[in-house]
Amino acid sequence: MTEAQALPLPGNADSRLDGTALRLPVPRPVPDDVPPPARREWPAVSVVMPVLNEQKHLAASVGQILGQEYGGELELVIALGPSKDATDRIARKLAFSDARIKLVSNPSGRTPAGLNAAVLAASHDIIARVDGHGVLLPGYMEKAVRLLEETGAANVGGLMLAVGETPFEQAVARAYGSKVGLGGGSFHVGGIEGPAESVYLGVFRREVLERLGGFNDHYHRAQDWELNFRIRQAGELVWFSPDLAVTYRPRSSWPELVRQFFHTGRWRREVIRQYPDTVSARYLAPPVVTGAILAGAVAGAAGTVAGVPLLRHGWLAPVMYVLGVLLASFREGRGLPWRAQAVLPAVLASMHLSWGAGFLFGRRPNGDVSR
């Protein structure tokens, strides 16, 4: 029977009102040898992870990486620094239980050196960076690889979602995600998908990493920003997407927080020294505020001791800063538990002033910074 032949229908349904026969199409038979739709082949990915003293978070981070629902092959290369806790033992146990895990040594313990060692040992052409205290959200790897292919970018990345458990950590996490805390970078506070200055962590094309010489091991901090700058200078694309998110456990004590931001400010000054065109108000705000507070406090103290009324006005600088931090904390702290709200002003001040002090007074690092 052909498509044009009439099919009889029940009753009088096989004829029109004018008496002519209805002609209905007949489905064509499907040949037995037609293959099913091809299944997409996802490229293999090597995840690189430098670790140092990460016994609290390593197992959870590794579990989320290897548990990603990704259609391609995954391997994880962990660069072990000289940890003082049980990180090495945990890593060896994980590697023994899963053949996808490789371990390499990072004697210096420095992040860029560990990243470069892990990339060298990696097997695949796509390199995803993850830290030992970061946890990938479901679907991260598939979304990242798809964006690499769709955008042609050299590096894609997204948001750092800081998540705290203690009141102190919750306050730090809120400060991380606030424009008042870290200055409004898209990978901290979110933004529109598109080309970016830098992204959190990142999923890279290996050939671009190798062509640019990898991570600059001079930069103990800010090595991700420095690499992304070189990527953009080479005419390649860095792509931000808020759909790519990694949870991050913030520092859990005052000394750790102060140390982190002091060194961040110190290394930010080093980046600006090497790349002066990258200076921006966001990076200069902490040292300017810190310098103004110090100058105001010194002038105010001198005026009080010497009885010079004009110099006493210097106290306005620290007083205005404290009032500004309290106001910002009231606005940014909404929804936090009251204990976290109570420490948020001190957390913000610690971040600002530690960064500023590191920028102004931190010792200049030695070594060649060229790449």
Confirm whether 314 is domain-assigned: yes
Domain boundary, last residue among 105, 135, 165: 135
Q: Please tell me the distance from the alpha carbon of residue 18 to that of residue 313, in angstroms, as a whole number.
A: 102
pLDDT at 18 over 50: no
Confirm whether 93 is domain-assigned: yes
Please choose, from the candidates 50, 37, 46, the residue with its C-alpha nearest in 3D space to the C-alpha of residue 224: 50
Confirm whether 55 is domain-assigned: yes
Q: What is the pLDDT of residues 127-138, one digit of tens each?
A: 999 998 888 999
What value does the mean pLDDT take over residues 356-360? 96
DSSP state string for 120-156: HH--SSEEEE--TTEEEPTTHHHHHHHHHHHH--SEE
DSSP E strand stretches across the chain: 45-51, 74-80, 101-105, 126-129, 134-136, 155-162, 194-195, 200-205, 238-248
Domain boundary, last residue among 135, 168, 189: 135
What value does the mean pLDDT take over residues 85-107? 97
Q: Please tell me the distance from the alpha carbon of residue 339 to that of residue 357, in angstroms, as a whole number.
A: 27
Single-letter residue type at 143:
K
Q: How far is CA 3 from the centre of its chain?
A: 59
Domain at 57, CATH number: 3.90.550.10
pLDDT at 14 over 80: no
Confirm whether 77 is domain-assigned: yes
What value does the mean pLDDT take over residues 189-209? 89
> Which of the pair, 369 or 190, is modelled with greater confidence?
190
Query: Percent of the chain, pLDDT > 90?
Result: 68
- Could you give the angle at which helices 316-332 and 281-306 cross, rounded to 10 degrees? 140
| pLDDT category of residue 262 using cuts at 50, 70 and 90 | very high
Domain boundary, last residue among 135, 151, 186: 135
Between the CA of residue 204 and those of 148, 246, 325, what are the distances in Å?
A: 8, 16, 38
Confirm whether 90 is domain-assigned: yes
The average confidence (pLDDT) of the chain is: 87
pLDDT at 188 over 70: no
Per-residue confidence (pLDDT) for residue 267, from 0 to 100 = 92
pLDDT at 66 over 90: yes
Confirm whether 285 is domain-assigned: yes
Confirm whether 281 is domain-assigned: yes
| pLDDT category of residue 46 using cuts at 50, 70 and 90 | very high
Between the CA of residue 147 and those of 30, 38, 155, 200, what are the distances in Å?
A: 36, 21, 9, 15
Total domains in the chain come to 2
Confirm whether 242 is domain-assigned: no
Look up the domain containing 78 and give its range: 41-135
pLDDT at 51 over 60: yes
Per-residue confidence (pLDDT) for residue 10, from 0 to 100 = 44
* DSSP designation for 366: P
